[in-house]
Structure 1
Amino acid sequence: MAFLKEPPHTHGSNGGSAVVLVNLGTPDAPTRSAVRRYLKQFLSDQRVVEIPRAVWWFILNLIILPFRSGQSARKYASIWTREGSPLKVNTQEQALLLRAALGERGHDNVTVAMAMRYGSPSLPDVLARLKADGCERVLLLPAYPQYSGTTTGSIYDAVFAHYKQIRNVPELRFIRNYHDHDGYIHALQESILAHWDAHGRPEKLVLSFHGVPRRTLLLGDPYHCECLKTARLLAARLKLTPEQYLVTFQSRFGKAEWLQPYTAPTVQQLARDGVRRVDVICPGFTSDCLETLEEIAMEVRHDFMAAGGKEFHYIPCLNAAPGWIAALAEIAEQHMIGWPTMMAQPQRDALKKAGEAARAAALKLGAEN
């Protein structure tokens, strides 16, 4: 097995620490060719589609990609901004603000980088760059509050596959989930209450999470349970009764049964039942993207109004909300305990002196660096 070329090892170096904020990904442009490349990578992941490879290859390459790429490109075009893909723009801003927030907490020896599981900047490229920059400790922070094998599990796969090519692997830490983290729940609460202060309250609040095939729940994936716990904790913070909110699942793909109830049919039924106003928020998405801005804010809105509803409000994702950035910093900080990211000057001087002594001893024994 061939290993990637290593940068020279420097004796006495304490290296740096890094937090990598990893989101799902996005096409590089709202064009048919760019979307096709992105969908091919995404839908080729066996974590995402658990169908025998030979069968799925024909379905993907001969049916889905030829027909779905153009349709998806038009949807991406409807939400694309001057700066680019909303998901990438929002995630990049989160990474920049997270770095500043960690600095304010005294962690001035931490790099924060953004990576995408599919598309660019790719996770392997970001990890390689951090290694070249001398980072010896890496914390992986998924942009998914709820764990699923289809999302967070896939990030783990990509990380392990990358480091399988590396001789000198850095210290790795993984954040598995934070679906019940107090800061995350509080940030959602603040976002909803701010919207209600400005626009009044709905008759029904819909908490729409991304769906997954129901069989994954039956096979042991905890995603469904973690979504329901997030919803329960958030409803308690908002002092909602069970009649005032609903949990639904969106973005169904294919003909198999997914987690239910499905968002669009549920919202349509609410309108037919006489509910005049619904508010929808997507707690499982920390950055606005195609699934929130187009599927919910456009398509589901249309479904609700066409079925007789009168007022539809989409409450944006947390994005760069100050409360959310503070929560991200707290989550990252809790998982960096023991790393030399936060030291007073005397400690820095002592660590530097110890490193210089170690390097001198190594050079005396014949080391080159």
Structure 2
Amino acid sequence: MTEVINEPQDEVLLEVTDLKVHFPIKRGIVVDRTVGHVYAVDGVDLSIRRGETYGLVGESGCGKSTLGRAILRLSEPTAGKVVFDGTDVAQLKGEKLRKARRRMQMIFQDPMSSLDPRQPVESILLEGMRAHGLAKDKAATDQRLRELLGAVGLPETALRKYPHEFSGGQRQRIGIARALAVEPDLIVADEPVSALDVSVQAQVVNLLEDLQNELGLTYVVIAHDLAVVRHISDRIGVMYLGALVEETTSAELYENPLHPYTRALLSAIPVPDPVVEDTREQILLAGDLPSPANPPTGCRFHTRCPWRQASLCDTDRPQLREIGAGHRVACHYAEDIRDGRIQPHDVEPELVELTGVLSPDAAPDIGTITEIL
């Protein structure tokens, strides 16, 4: 009998189970009292294998960034588990949490605001290394700094410069070098190229891929640009209003989307062929994204879904279930939609009214969805 040895990429590095992040809505002059919650992330289950790139997509306000921050404990989870390499990070505190964070780093969306303008690049890179005891030997540390800059395509002279002296793409490279400085296993990249020019985006995406191949990194890439996600990701999860609605490989998602929301997202990608663009299916969603402080009952997409049915959709929240090998979908009628047994229909926009303590007259000003998340 031949012994079967699993390849490293088959090993689960990160497993998230029923993760929830609810932000309380406070009101009061003398004593704050909780009058409701913003359900930013509400029951997410996913697993990421070592060496894999997992893409996370969805429109603004769906909870992508909050999920990424909760994985790293930058936002405190309300409930659920975040098991990283066998350890539940959601339960760690104090020194144990600080040590665990060395193996999990983040690349932030805005390369300017995420870098301290008062520190030169050398201090920015050394800060994390010193915090984790990786800068004890000066000669070795100097060599490590030069290697970091070389890895992200910057000259050694960059060490003495300040963030404002670099272009946007160069600042993002500094952010990547800072994440690599403490030798992590997992990097959460929150919109790593959205603030950059198209030509620079390609350079940064290629850099991330090269570093992954050299260092065996695992990525969670949060993005709006579906073309970028398709290029860099092995698997993709689609989020809507705090929950995953579909998850599968990159190729399968673009060739065979099963959830109505995923179909709508992909139909919004422009095609550079005018003949194809004029004849292909285009799904225009009615209404706005509902408030995460008062999500719809049942399927949260049913208020905008062209395939909405009279039963189940309004009352029962669908679970993320497997349809085909490795293809998970949260839709009651995914098979019927796929096989054409249910046809799309026009959707009238619905006004989702706040009730009770969250009525329009009583609710406090808590900012826009994007500001909250």
TM-score normalized by structure 2? 0.27
Higher RCO (CA-CA < 8 Å; seq separation 6+): 1
Q: Which has the higher helix share?
A: 1
Q: Which has the higher strand share?
A: 2
